Amino acid sequence: MSINNAHVDVLQGQCWESTPWKRLQVGDIVRIKQDGYFPADLLFLSSTNPDGICYIETANLDGETNLKIRKALEKTWDYVIPEKASEFKGEVQCEQPNNSLYTFTGNLIMDKQTIPLSPNQLLLRGCSLRNTEYIVGVVIFTGHETKVMMNSMNVPSKRSTLEKKLDKLILALFATLFTMCVIGAIGSGIFINEKYFYLGLRGHVEDQFNPKNRFVVTILTMFTLITLYSTIIPISLYVSIEMIKFIQCTQFINNDLHMYHAESNTPALARTSNLNEELGQVEYIFSDKTGTLTRNLMEFFKCSIGGEMYGTGITEIEKGGAERAGIRIDDDEGKRSANAVHEKGFNFDDARIMRGAWRNEPNPEACKEFFRCLAICHTVLPEGEETPEKISYQAASPDEAALVSAAKNFGFFFYRRTPTTVMVRESHVERMGSIQDVPYEILNVLEFNSTRKRQSVVCRFTNGRLVLYCKGADNVVYERLADGNHDMKKISREHLEQFGSAGLRTLCLAYRDLSREQYESWNEKFVQAKSSLRDRDKKLDEVAELIEKDLILVGCTAIEDKLQEGVPTCIETLSAAGIKIWVLTGDKMETAINIAYACSLVNNDTKQFIISSETGAIREAEDRVSCTYCTLDNIYNAFSWFISIAKSFSYKTQKLK
């Protein structure tokens, strides 16, 4: 393959030498330049970017176009130039090759020190390097042991309905041709006779006009008729259809102005011509919500702090809910005030907490902890100049970037990150108009995953205060709150339900003060779990449970993800064409119904059937089914044992006889 003949820089002595991908071996130190592809699964050592970070695009692996951040271990940052890289000596102990793209467990042993490795230090084959001059890495998996190769499978060929019908038609024509030729050949063999001498055939085709050997006449006539009737088979039909499809793609679909997106300057692109005619025969469309029906551009829209709701405005989903109730809301009612701030990731309108006004609110301490949680509890990386107007944030998800952008606009400007510190420029904290740069030492990060549904950060203030900040799904955070303050919890729960009904994405924010003894005792267990090669994720989750408890709720956030432009009209048109549309969403039932109204998936004339059950009831039913299977297995085993004993007894009885 040509890709294996592509070249990459490999360290030889103290200089880089261009080497084909196919020559790479485990343990080679390689250099990948900007926009280049990783030739193998690499352990990320160093980067030309400060703080040992790089940006990668994983579109070839998971289809996601947003950039991902990878971070090298601080101990390996210096191995950028070949002279330094040649001094690298270490041992990598890691898991066996597997096809999991999002997990990696291992340890790097350097200078008798064991350093745990995570997916943040893994660069997978097939990904490309972006916004980074070059990186240096060590090859740990090559060829068929790379994760992308272990995920590869034989892609089944797709054939359209037209092609399948053509295949059947061609087979029918072949059968017709064969039948005609057989009948003609047999007839020729039967009716050949000397009395037709006047045709003068004997002198020219002796074998084919020979009444004495009718079998030979039949066979020869068969081939003659096949030659004569072969035009019944449309040999050029497939070629003609392929040419028509090619013209449809290149001249019609790719140049269709109705399918051109002006904002992103993106025309329609037909990647294959196999299924052109299927576009007019679609019966079902299965779609998810986020990024398909919505823009996947998250904006901080509302919040609740200390039991007080902040933010004004009406979402598209609320308009859908009003339509469901038969109430029409004009766009004028949703207009923002002149003081509203609208920038990327932030679309908020409430003067009560803007520009330091939160100091005059009933719960200024809760506001302060809320904003600090937004500014500290994340894994976002800042880019550009360290000013609020020119900085940009690189985040693993647009939600995180929106929350950090919100903290900036509330006066808690996160502008710099080092491996151990987060720098926040705080405004109006000590007094109105005061600005101070505050370093927060990041001691531990308990990262978000689909099982935990939360993220926590343990940080140390300049005065020595130890705080755990946590943000996550409402049901997960509420389970870990300390006793007391029931009124605030109840009010916040009501606010969460209101945000959910408006189609907003919600998160709860909480914190906990830690004593030095509590933290040191817990941190020992955390370090042990992080260094474990077996079940590391499970052990880290168990250790996190020990500290993520007795939390104090400070509030919740509400982020809006607007519908794509033209989605309601598009769905209405597709529905009118008789196409059935299914949409998958992780929202609550009421929110999902309002979203369905907002995107015109349903209307007031639609009959609704709600099939619902609590998670506990579903698990109980699954357990009952599992127990039933176990019981049936036990009965089967008992019967098998009884039958075997009976056969043995019968055999012995016969032997005695």
Residues tagged in the binding site annotation: 288-290, 400, 448, 471, 505, 585-587
Q: Which amino acid is at 469?
A: Y
Q: Catalytic: which of 35, 207, 288, 535? A: 288
Q: Quick one: which of 393, 570, 544, 541 has its CA closest to 458?
A: 544
- Cα 318–Cα 324–Cα 327 angle in degrees, nearest 5: 75
What 518-525 contacts at long range (C-beta under 8 Å, 24+ apart), as own/partner pairs, is 518/547, 519/443, 519/458, 519/466, 522/546, 522/547, 523/443, 523/444
H, E, C per residue of 295-343: EEEEEEEEEEECCEEECCCCCHHHHHHHHHCCCCCCHHHHCCCCCCEEE
How far CA 655 is from CA of 566, 650, 651, in Å, comes to 86, 9, 6
CA separation for the pair 519, 441 (Å, rounded): 14
The verdict on whether 288 is a catalytic residue reads: yes
Reading the block at residue 3, the tokens are 């890709």
Q: What is the Cα 550 distance to its own chain's centre?
A: 33
In 3D, which of 419, 414, 343, 412 has the Cα closest to residue 382? Answer: 414
CA 362 to chain centre: 41
Q: How far apart are the first and last CA of the chain?
A: 75
Cβ neighbours of residue 73 closer than 8 Å, sequence gap 6 or more? 45, 52, 108, 115, 117, 121
Gap between the Cα atoms of 557 and 366, Å rounded: 14
By three-state DSSP, how is residue 92 classified?
Answer: strand
Could you tell me whether strands 580-584 and 284-288 are parallel, antiparallel, or unpaired per DSSP bridges?
parallel
Within 424-553, residue ranges assigned H as helices are 474-478, 486-501, 516-531, 536-547
- Tell me the binding residues for Mg(2+): 288, 290
Binding residues for ATP: 288-290, 400, 448, 471, 505, 585-587
Half-sphere exposure in the Cβ direction for 387 (13 Å, CA): 3
Structure tokens at 117: 């490795």
The runs of H, that is alpha helices, within 378-462 are 398-409
Exposure on the CB side of residue 285, measured as CA atoms within 13 A: 22
Q: Where are the alpha helices (DSSP H) in 130-231?
A: 147-150, 161-191, 214-229
CA-to-CA separations, 125 to 18, 42, 57, 248, 531, in angstroms, rounded: 18, 8, 11, 35, 25
Annotated catalytic residues are 288
